[in-house]
Amino acid sequence: AQSVTQPDIHITVSEGASLELRCNYSYGATPYLFWYVQSPGQGLQLLLKYFSGDTLVQGIKGFEAEFKRSQSSFNLRKPSVHWSDAAEYFCAVGAKAAGNKLTFGGGTRVLVKP
């Protein structure tokens, strides 16, 4: 069975500073990886996804993520955080063998200080 771990429950970052959110997955074959963002009281918005190919993936809102098979990781990064990036971020893994269902990590809540 696949699983996803987001080790950081909360992260506080200053506006303009860089941000990195960690995601580790467990799955026996090649996973499909996603990052979603959820603002308070809202649904999930897809930031980026990795299916195959280039391991550095560019997403919306200036985010990028790098797939590292050797570390079973898919960390999300942003060079310069804006106040509007305050939200909860979820990493998810899907797998062909799992029939499309996504397994989510517990989420990382990001607080942006002025």
- Decide: is 46 part of the binding site for other proteins (CB under 8 A): yes
Judged by CB under 8 A, the residue of 28, 43, 53, 114 near other proteins is 43
Binding range to other proteins, per CB under 8 A, among 15-23, 67-75, 79-87, 103-111: 103-111
- Decide: is 51 part of the binding site for other proteins (CB under 8 A): yes
| 21-40 positions binding other proteins, by CB under 8 A | 32, 34, 36
Range 61-89 burial, b when 16+ CB lie within 10 A, else e: eebbbbbeeeeebbbbebeebeeebbbbb
Per the listing, tokens 């909360």 go with: 10
5: exposed, middle or buried (Cβ count in 10 Å: 0-12, 13-18, 19+): middle
User: What residues line the site for other proteins (CB under 8 A)?
Assistant: 32, 34, 36, 41-46, 49, 51, 90, 92, 94-96, 99-107
